[in-house]
Structure 1
Amino acid sequence: MKAFLAELKRRNTLLYWYGVLSFVGAFVCILMTQLSDTIVLGINAWIKPAKFFISVALYCWTMGWIMHYLIAQHKVKKFSKMVLLVMTYELFVITWQAANGRLSHFNTTTIFYRLLFIFMGVAISVLAAWTGYIGYLFFKQKKFMVPDAYIWSIRLGIILFVIFGFEGGVMGVHLAHTVGAPDGGEGLPGINWSQRYGDLRIAHFFGMHALQILPLFGFFIAKSARIVQVFAAVYFLLTTLLFIQAAMGIPLLF
């Protein structure tokens, strides 16, 4: 683990340290779940920012690791700075609203909170689109010092991340993630996905974390690019089915 962290820091110092800070933020939020009784949508208000801090940390470390293989490092540096700006805004709003017992996403109770939410959507859309551009650079570059299977897993992981990142826009349009009932209510422990109704966050989660799952599969398991492509196609199909299931109002475990 020590060697991995040292290599990660060498590859992208900026995203390495932001990932570290995000993990620290997650730890603080988890601690706050034990110290605060503030409730939002039926669960402790600090659970949501904790999950977002962890996701941001994983995203930063993943991108910091894989972008090392690109020749265009000047573009990587610009992208890394953009990540910090977007994620800092997102995490600030989510944490600040949670600390005050308010929703961050879908909060249109005042003009100010509506604007905060709209800007979050714009910022994360820019991030997703720019991540897609990084994926384009992986397709544009023809020579790499690592196996094709691994590179294809990175390319396809980014594509799925972008697709299901924008799937979050469906939730934004409907101002809710639950289909068939208002947000809140009984959910799966920890992740809080609805146990009774469709939940659009499930496909969003699995689709975006293809960014980690596919490269891990390509590095440790796959022996050829074709195997990666088949795995990615199946992964996309299953995640799409999760989205359709949620859109029909059917819970994950029915």
Structure 2
Amino acid sequence: MTQLDEGSTLPLESGPRRPHRPLLVACGLMAALLLWSLAGLVLDDRLIGGEPAWAKPAKFAAAFVLYTATLAWLLGLPHRGSRVTRCMGTIFAVTTVVDVGFVVVQAARGTFSHFNTESDAVNTVGQLIFASGVPGLFAANLVIAVVVLWQRVADRPVTLAIRAGLVLAVAGMALGYLMGFTGARTAEAADGRAVELVGSHTVGDRGVRDDPAGLPVTHWSTTGGDLRVPHFVGLHGMQVLLLAAVALGFAARRYPALREERARARLVGVLAAAWTGLLALTLWQALRGVPPAAPDGPVLLTGAALLAATALGVALVLSAAVLRRAPATRVSH
């Protein structure tokens, strides 16, 4: 095991002992779905609510590829309560495939998967699946977070990234429920019929609803606040923090100030705080009805303050690490 400093090792070197197979299977299925959906975006020109029919399956597939792969790795790390977490991982994997499967079915049928009030048999059954499946995903992730949160499953930076990431993911999933309270609206299915929906992704004055065009790729609203933004930020915080922890571990080979595990852990902590601030900022922006790509003065000012606080935190951590190493350097000379 490569030593960086006394009591400090490169993150992830011990690696997962036994990655969670059901989650890996779910990840593989989501990857296949992503390829299928990308082909659908090229070959199928139908629009559902003004959005390409296969855009939603593609976005769900991409998101779950990232999350199931991360969770499969995490549950492979040695930890107490692994029987419980692996059971929850299986529930998460099965629910993912079933829920996203319904999104695919509805896309193929040319209608909406979310908030749809149509009374046909497929939609009725599908909405029942969502009504039980979405809470199942949330509950499984919450149980995993509760079990893992108090354990050290890797080096300190990676452990902190996992802990903060799980909390952020639970928060991100919970924020998805807000979309069901934005009010009813009517949208157009692929065949032109009007469909009554009981919720939407956007918040705004004067009846602002989901923007058919939206931003490129994400299709986030350009006319109102979009709750999908904080939902996205929360769900993928763990991947960002883990990448940061790994990057810091490799950077420590070159930069002496990062060789101390404590310094890297504190930097991950600063980033975790910043990402939590970003989650709060994007939620505040969405609830105020401010479009993601057109932030107003208060959002810009708050964002600048968050960026400045993050930079200050990084500077303080690095300065302290350099000062702690200075005496040792002088003694060695």
TM-score (norm: length of structure 1): 0.89
Superposed CA deviations along residues 222-252 of structure 1, whole A, max 9, x for unmatched, are 7433322222122111121111111111111
- The sequence identity of aligned pairs, in percent, is 29
Cα distance in structure 1, aligned partners of 2:240 and 2:131: 25
The answer to whether the Cα contact below 8 Å between 1:186 and 1:196 also exists between their aligned partners in 2 is: no
Please point out which of 119, 134, 154 is paired with 1:124: 134
Cα distance in structure 1, aligned partners of 2:67 and 2:176: 16
Match of 1:176 in 2: 200
Q: Which runs of 5+ in 2 are unaligned?
A: 1-11, 183-198, 250-262, 295-333
Alignment of 1:153-232 (within 5 A): 153-174=161-182, 175-180=199-204, 181-221=208-248, 223-232=263-272
Match of 1:101 in 2: 110
Cα distance in structure 2, aligned partners of 1:136 and 1:152: 14
The alignment covers a number of residue pairs equal to: 247
Give the AA of the match of 2:265: A
Alignment of 1:49-68 (within 5 A): 49-68=57-76
Q: Secondary structure at the match of 2:221?
A: coil
Structure showing greater Rg? 2
Residues 11 and 168 of structure 1: CA distance in aligned 2, closer, same or farther (over 3 Å): same
Give the superposed CA RMSD: 2.2
TM-score (norm: length of structure 2): 0.69
Displacement of 1:202 after TM fit?
A: 0.7
Comparing 64-73 and 166-175, the one that deviates more: 64-73
Cα distance in structure 2, aligned partners of 1:226 and 1:32: 44
The answer to whether the Cα contact below 8 Å between 1:9 and 1:16 also exists between their aligned partners in 2 is: no
Cα distance in structure 2, aligned partners of 1:128 and 1:185: 28
The answer to whether the Cα contact below 8 Å between 2:47 and 2:53 also exists between their aligned partners in 1 is: yes
The answer to whether the Cα contact below 8 Å between 1:8 and 1:64 also exists between their aligned partners in 2 is: no
Match of 2:287 in 1: 247
Residues 16 and 9 of structure 1: CA distance in aligned 2, closer, same or farther (over 3 Å): farther
Q: Which runs of 5+ in 1 are unaligned?
A: none
Q: Greater helix percent: which structure? A: 1
